[in-house]
Structure 1
């Protein structure tokens, strides 16, 4: 178990990767990551982001943006706004999934935008979440209750109806808890299994974009992001499809290059 705290997603990614790299099997249980500013990037953060992105793409894996889009389709949000995101996009995403060999691509985004209730009726969890956040904000603003009680809600990602029979290949992101407090949207995400080279930084970017969406649309600020990796692994890729492949030595070299980026900045300061 390890708690890793930092200001930005790339900085926390690097510290987490270094933690796993220092362990005998390069894996650990219950690694807690806390990012104070998940949507803020310094110049050094951007360089680390680009270093990791180039590494993933050159080794046959999805780049950071592609991984982030599986959580929140920021491209679609920029292109068509909230109406496009809530309206036709989920059906477009389903069509994309059917056409791809890796049919699970984008399943997080789809589950955040489309689920069935107990009666089998389709609803949009993210849309209802935004409505509740807006109502909570108006309530506090109207009644001036000081700090007030935080609004709490959750989006369940794991679906036992479709996922219970899978030994592998199910959603690694299983649960997303959202809280609004002191004018900030706070996230807590739970991963049942987490690949720290090919997925983690993209996951952090995607979750930060989802936070930004809710905060921006509700007129609030982006708060901290906490991630609970119940099992974390410094992976070497899947060796197939878009998972890429690299050696442990190559992963370590990537980590070392990223640390040099931050160290040079610290020395210059």
Structure 2
């Protein structure tokens, strides 16, 4: 049965409400909708600290990464030289050049990193951000979906368009058909392989009342080891898109087609302790 989590003001509370709900459902749930009203609102430090403490302990059965590492797979903020400049139609050439250069440098730097990143077994099929900026995400020089979407949104902003739903970012697909810049990737009918990666399969961007909102679909959302970092990375990606296009940031919605509280990795009691610690610090 699908579940709609009460929308939260920031990503920390949205994550905690989702974990609480799925844990109460027995540890698993299907089609769980999590919504953040303001993805750029400050995190709740206590909730983040409670999760960081759990993730700092190595586990034998699961590969554990810090929240920032997970977030960086979706948007590598550490290599983005943020100019603090926001796109405005008719802006002066010098400011526009600086804004464009910051994005171009990000794409180029990440493209140069991809061959190294994909030597890690976890990245052998590419990375999330790599698939966004250099489809299919194993080397640089591929189709840059982000640059294309930014170009489309800037055109709309210049024409004073305040609402549209024509943009998306494909993540899934190996033996796909169609052009990756045309939208959602689909598997070829002859492709009988099963895929564990990527868990994030699609990102949809909707412009409404001059705000860009984002909807992301995960086929398997690991709520302890991945979900918080995923929400943080998606929020940063949305902020980047808004800055580069001149629109405001709208809401962030994530649909986990299968949400997993990871009782098998952390035990039911362990997840309950995490929830108690996070809720007590909220």
**TM norm structure 1:** 0.82
1:170 Cα deviation after fit: 1.2
Flag the 1:135–1:156 CA change in 2: closer, same or farther, 3 A.
same
* CA deviation string 1:168-214 (max 9, x = no partner): 53100001001222221110001111111111110000000000001
* CA deviation string 1:203-253 (max 9, x = no partner): 00000000000111222221100111111110147xxxxxxx533211110
Determine the C-alpha separation between the residues in 2 that align with 1:18 and 1:105: 32
Name the residue aligned to 1:59. 58
Alignment of 1:246-257 (within 5 A): 246-257=266-277
Determine the C-alpha separation between the residues in 1 that align with 2:45 and 2:125: 25
Identify the structure with the greater helix proportion. 1
Determine the C-alpha separation between the residues in 2 that align with 1:248 and 1:78: 42
Name the residue aligned to 1:95. 116
1:231 aligns with one of 236, 258, 265: 258
2:211 aligns with one of 181, 184, 191: 184
SS at match of 1:39: coil
1:158 aligns with one of 166, 172, 175: 172
1:17 Cα deviation after fit: 0.5
Root-mean-square deviation (CA, aligned residues, Å) is 2.2
Alignment of 1:40-119 (within 5 A): 40-42=41-43, 45-60=44-59, 61-78=64-81, 81-98=102-119, 100-104=120-124, 107-115=127-135
Determine the C-alpha separation between the residues in 1 that align with 2:125 and 2:143: 21
Name the residue aligned to 1:175. 202
SS at match of 2:25: coil
1:105 Cα deviation after fit: 8.4
SS at match of 1:71: coil
Contact 1:191 1:229 survives alignment (8 Å): yes
Contact 2:79 2:109 survives alignment (8 Å): no
Contact 1:70 1:105 survives alignment (8 Å): no
SS at match of 1:67: helix
Name the residue aligned to 2:28. 27
Determine the C-alpha separation between the residues in 2 that align with 1:105 and 1:260: 40
Per mean C-alpha deviation after superposition, the further-off stretch among 104-113 and 151-160 is: 104-113
Flag the 1:186–1:62 CA change in 2: closer, same or farther, 3 A.
same
1:104 Cα deviation after fit: 4.2
Contact 2:34 2:253 survives alignment (8 Å): yes
Instruction: Confirm whether residue 131 of structure 1 aligns to residue 151 of structure 2.
Output: yes
Determine the C-alpha separation between the residues in 1 that align with 2:173 and 2:52: 30
Contact 1:54 1:63 survives alignment (8 Å): no
Alignment of 1:200-215 (within 5 A): 200-215=227-242
1:151 Cα deviation after fit: 4.3
Determine the C-alpha separation between the residues in 1 that align with 2:12 and 2:130: 26
- Structure 2, gaps ≥5 residues long: 83-100, 177-186
- Structure 1, gaps ≥5 residues long: 142-147, 238-244, 263-269
